[in-house]
Structure 1
Amino acid sequence: MGNEGQVAQITGPRRPRALSPLREHLRDTFWFAPSAGLVCAGLLWWGASTLDLEIVALLQREKAYAALRELVSIAEDTRTIVTTISSAMMTFIGVVFSISLVAVQMASGQLTPRVVRIFIRSRISKITLSVFLATFLFSLLVLTSYESETDIRQVTSVPVVQSLLTMALVVLSLVLFIAYVSATLRLMQVGPVVDRITRETLRMLARQGTGKEGSEDGGSLAAETGRVAHTGRAGVVRDVHVARLVRVARRQGVVLRLLPRIGDFVLPGTPVLAVHGETVPPRWALRRTVSVGVERTFHQDLGLGLRQLSDIALRALSPAVNDPTTAVQCLDRIVQILAAVVGRPLGAVHHRDRRGAVRLVQNVPAWADLVDLGLTEIRAAAPHSPQVTRRMLAGIDDLLRLAPEPRREPLVRHRTLLLQAVERAVPAAPDRRFASSPDRQGIG
């Protein structure tokens, strides 16, 4: 099973960053960044309050009561502003994000429900919410620093630095609010959404790293000596902790092979790792190496981008929507992704340890799988839309120019099936000729 299809390897020892799965999983949450922002707000207030105390203590030691009285006057002037900020900020947060969630819901209904994850992973969304909440918490903490002491000689804290930082946070919040609204509105446009999906797919492809097909020392695996079953909840394989699996395999002197592909649904008891070597690693050593969740992620999933683009195109071609231009935009990006992988070895990736020995074999979709994923469902829905058929034919022709001879067969097959479907669906010969003419803009 480890030698089926094409085999690719990582050229040279390539150590994936150990925390990369954790980083990606945190990016798929909406609680971590705001929580970190609240912690930072608390630390910032502690530092600012300490500085205010030092300033007041210095003025008290120098008996600079005139300067201290001026600071107290400034602090009292800003107290009203800080109070207003603390009372209005939470209402502002609720209104802004309520409107934004409605906009995201509309976008998910028009495109695909999976567009919500773009909002969740959006850095500007997380930074904006974090700064809003940090401003609210910081202003509340500043209010605790004001004193009611009237005798200037007894004053111990004048929150001048804290008040100035509160003003700075408000200004930053307003700037981020403008950027956030702009980014949210872009989520309602097809072009930016499909572009975001494509860029994430290409970034993942660059991280995947494939080299020359075959290998001298890793092309054939030793006999399989055991399998490791999944013991957690049922779900989709989101990613694997490559660095940890490579480390465990190196210590045990074995090669591990991931049985399901990223994106496969696994059940408890399903084998997920095959062991090639003498010793089966202990189960505790393999804990948290295969991540299973409820949704696929872009971290290591080569087919997710094509899946999302195909979903958007299919919804656009449905009779209820009837938006072939959106389908053409999706085809543009599907062709772009397929063009990026047309010359890359696919089928399996060999991850190596520091000494260059293969320690983990990870299956990835083959070329034919990716072509079928990107074109099959759209082709089935396209015959009655000449704009889509013309764009698909042009895209296939472009890929045929780029594809090496062994990879032309799936493209030729889809082109033939599309022409046959057009011939069956379009009765008039002039319309058939028009729908069968390649055009990169569809109709324009």
Structure 2
Amino acid sequence: MQVIRFHPATLWRKARALSRELWVRVVFMGLLSLISLGLTQLIQIFVPDEMAAQMPGSSADRLLDLIANAMLAVTIFSMTVMVSVYQSSSSQWTPRVHQLIMQDRITQKTLAAFIGTYLYALVAIILRELGVFVDDHALVLFWVTVLVLGFVVWSLVRWALHLQTFGSLLDTTRQVEVITKRQFEDRLDTPCLGANPLVGEVPEGAVCIRADESGYIRHLYPEALQATAKRFDVELFLSQPVGQFVFLNEPLLWVVGDLDEGATGEDDFETLVRDHINQGDLRSYDQDPRFGLTVMGEIGAKALSPGVNDPGTAIDVITRVGRILSSYRDETKGDGEAQFTRLWVPPLDADALLDDGFGTAMRDGASTFEVQHQLQRTLAGLMQHPDAGLSRAACDAACSALRRALAAIDFPGDRTRLLEAAHPDVRAAVD
């Protein structure tokens, strides 16, 4: 059972998620600074005494004092900027974008570099006071400190360039698009997370395993679920997709097969299965491209609010969503056998994807001609998609959007131009 709990693929997935946390990068840089100080002592052994005596310890002391004084101020300033950007992005665009900005790599690397450098200087000063780095053996310490200063300057330049766009609307929407497109393509490259597509109802006679807490399904560990199903000789049907909110005692998944209640027992099986279906109070971008599309839609809806009144941003969001959905493929028509043959996962639904990305623009921007014009053009383009399911879903969405717009727009000229922008099939269906 422990082999299943600590499946290498599961540990790798958890490690990747953990690496995006700020404190992990800070700890790593702190350890790196301590290791570099230890290496200076090791290298110093091989430096001839006459060469080492040419560099007085006071030279290194001045550099260390400079780093210690400067890094504390720079770190506080950077953290103030980071918190300010987090708060403004949440209030101006959407609170759901907050967790994405918190995982900004350049920001995390810069803060980790500043804190790690500050720790390096403090520890080096303490070691100098304790007599570990004596005046006659400070040559290596001096040149290592020079390298650290060069690293600090490079981090400052990168941070200054990043601040030019950090937290802006353009940068935020681009970040959401990039991560959504990446997760979307990763999902399509491994249809249904490598499992069989669950189409239709769960087989009769399946045993229900219910959720022991309320929360969003944030992440699945299919490798461990496959190993669990193989160990107990059963098949697992996950009726709830990633991103779905599941209430306490609501069906979480279904089991087909006879459970072996010998040494392990059914309770241990259920616990093992629940351990590899991660639930939480917030949705995650991992394995959930629909969440990214929802966030994009919320940014567009915020731009259409009376207080902002920025249809250009809504148009930009529509084009970005259209670009993401252009790579759609039907997960039920994948080539070859599923990687996890004992696991069944619901495929992505084209109608749901379109509603996530365009739903807010259809409803909140129904009376804005520019937004509806771009929406009809984008949906008309998606109707040319080679996948029949997405083409049909785009046609249905275009018809619904056109009906809403024609009911909300009064000016006859705008109504005529909007009809001209729509696909001929949509015009025929609406007329």
TM-score (norm 1): 0.81
Give the match's secondary structure for 1:394. helix
Q: Which of the numbers 176, 180, 189 marks the counterpart of 2:159?
A: 180
Separation in 2 of the partners of 1:346 and 1:309? 26
Report what 1:398 is aligned to. Answer: 381
Q: Does 1:35 align with 2:27?
A: yes
Work out which of the residue numbers 219, 229, 237 in structure 1 matches 2:210: 229
Q: How does 1:423-434 map to 2 (within 5 A)?
A: 423-434=406-417
Name the residue aligned to 2:40.
Answer: 48
Aligned to 1:412: 395
Q: Against the structure 1 CA distance between its residues 372 and 332, is the aligned structure 2 distance closer, same or farther, given a 3 Å change threshold?
A: same
Given that 1:194 and 1:309 are in contact with CA atoms closer than 8 Å, whether structure 2 keeps it comes out as yes
What secondary structure does 2:43 align onto? helix
Write the letter of the residue equivalent to 1:40. Answer: L
Q: Does 1:327 align with 2:314?
A: yes
Task: Return the alpha-carbon distance in structure 2 between the equivalents of residues 23 and 218 of structure 1.
Answer: 29
Worse overlay, 121-130 or 314-323: 121-130
Report 1:245-324 matches (<5 A).
Answer: 245-279=225-259, 282-286=269-273, 288-324=275-311
**Residue pair 1:393, 1:437 contacting (<8 A) in 2 also:** no
Partner of 1:6: none
In the alignment, what sits opposite 2:4?
A: none
The answer for the alignment partner of 2:88 in structure 1 is 106
Where does structure 1 lack aligned partners over 5 or more consecutive residues? 1-14, 440-444
* 3-state secondary structure, aligned to 1:320: coil
String of CA shifts for 1:134-192, please: whole Å, max 9, x gaps: 1111111111332688xxxx969723323322222222122222222333432333333
Cα gap change, 1:412 to 1:206, in 2 (>3 Å) = closer
Query: Letter of the aligned partner of 2:10 in structure 1?
Result: A
Alignment partner, residue 201 of structure 1: 180
Partner of 2:345: 362
Helix, strand or coil: the match of 2:417? helix
8 Å Cα contact 1:230/1:269 also seen in 2? yes
Deviation at residue 308 of structure 1 after TM alignment? 0.6
**Residue type matched to 2:25 in 1?**
A
Q: Are 2:220 and 1:240 aligned?
A: yes
1:69 to 42, 48, 53: 53
Query: Are 1:246 and 1:360, in contact at CA under 8 Å, matched by a contact in 2?
Result: yes
| 1:90 has 2:72 as partner | yes
Instruction: Determine if contact 2:197/2:346 at 8 Å carries over to the other structure.
Output: no
Instruction: Give me the whole-angstrom Cα distance separating, in 1, the residues matched to 2:399 and 2:421.
Output: 13
Measured in 1, the distance between the counterparts of 2:173 and 2:134 equals 59
SS in 1 for 2:248: coil
1:142 to 119, 124, 131: 124
Secondary structure of 2:254's counterpart equals strand
* 1-structure distance, mates of 2:384, 2:115: 53
Identity %: 19
Separation in structure 1 between the aligned mates of residue 336 and residue 274 of structure 2, nearest angstrom: 21
Distance in 1, Cα, partners of 2:67 & 2:36: 17
Residue 190 (structure 1) aligns with: 169
Q: In structure 2, how many angstroms separate the alpha carbons of the residues matched to 1:431 and 1:283? A: 58
1:213-234 Cα deviation digits (max 9, x unpaired): xx99998976544233333x43
Q: CA RMSD in A?
A: 3.3
**In 1, Cα distance between the equivalents of 2:107 and 2:196?**
48
Which structure has more RCO (C-alpha within 8 Å, separation ≥ 6)?
A: 1
Query: Is the counterpart of residue 384 in structure 1 residue 367 in structure 2?
Result: yes
Q: Secondary structure at the match of 2:384?
A: helix
For the 8 Å contact 2:180–2:289, the answer to whether it is kept is yes
Report SS of the residue matched to 1:183: helix
TM-score when scaled to structure 2? 0.84
Q: Classify the secondary structure of the residue corresponding to 2:54.
A: helix
3-state secondary structure, aligned to 1:19: helix
Letter in 1 for 2:71: M
Change (3 A) 1:370 1:347: farther
Paired with 1:293 and 1:349, the residues of 2 have a C-alpha distance of 33
Residue in structure 1 matched with residue 149 of structure 2 by the alignment: 170
Q: Is this contact kept in 1: 2:191–2:347, CA < 8 A?
A: no
Structure 2 contact 214–247 (Cα < 8 Å) conserved = yes
Q: Contact 1:349–1:364 (CA<8 Å) still a contact in 2?
A: no
Between 1:427-436 and 1:37-46, the stretch displaced more is 427-436
2-structure distance, mates of 1:28, 1:89? 23
Structure 2 partner of 1:11: none
Q: Which amino acid aligns with 1:370?
A: L
Distance 1:377 1:145 in 2: 60
Q: Which segment drifts farther, 404-413 or 30-39?
A: 404-413
- SS of 1:260's equivalent? coil
- CA spacing shift, 1:349–1:186, aligned 2, 3 Å: farther
Between the aligned partners of 1:412 and 1:383, the Cα distance in structure 2 is 17
The CA deviation string for residues 19-78 of structure 1, in whole angstroms up to 9 with x for no partner, is 3431343145321111121122222222222323x14xx64xxxx4x434313x2x3222
Whichever structure has more helix as a proportion of its residues is 2
SS at structure 1 position matched to 2:183: helix
Equivalent pairs counted in the alignment come to: 405
- CA distance in 2 between counterparts of 1:290 and 1:245 reads 9
Q: Residues of 1 paired with 2:389 and 2:101: CA distance?
A: 39
**Residue type matched to 2:283 in 1?**
R
Instruction: Please say if residues 313 and 327 of structure 1, whose CA atoms lie closer than 8 Å, have aligned partners that are also in contact.
Output: yes
Summarize the Cα distance change of 1:432–1:352 in structure 2 as closer, same or farther, 3 Å threshold: closer
Q: How far did residue 407 of structure 1 move?
A: 4.0
CA–CA distance in structure 1, aligned partners of residues 333 and 253 of structure 2: 17
Letter in 2 for 1:204: Q
In structure 2, the CA distance between the partners of 1:375 and 1:148, relative to structure 1 (3 Å rule), is closer
* Other structure's SS at 2:216 match: strand
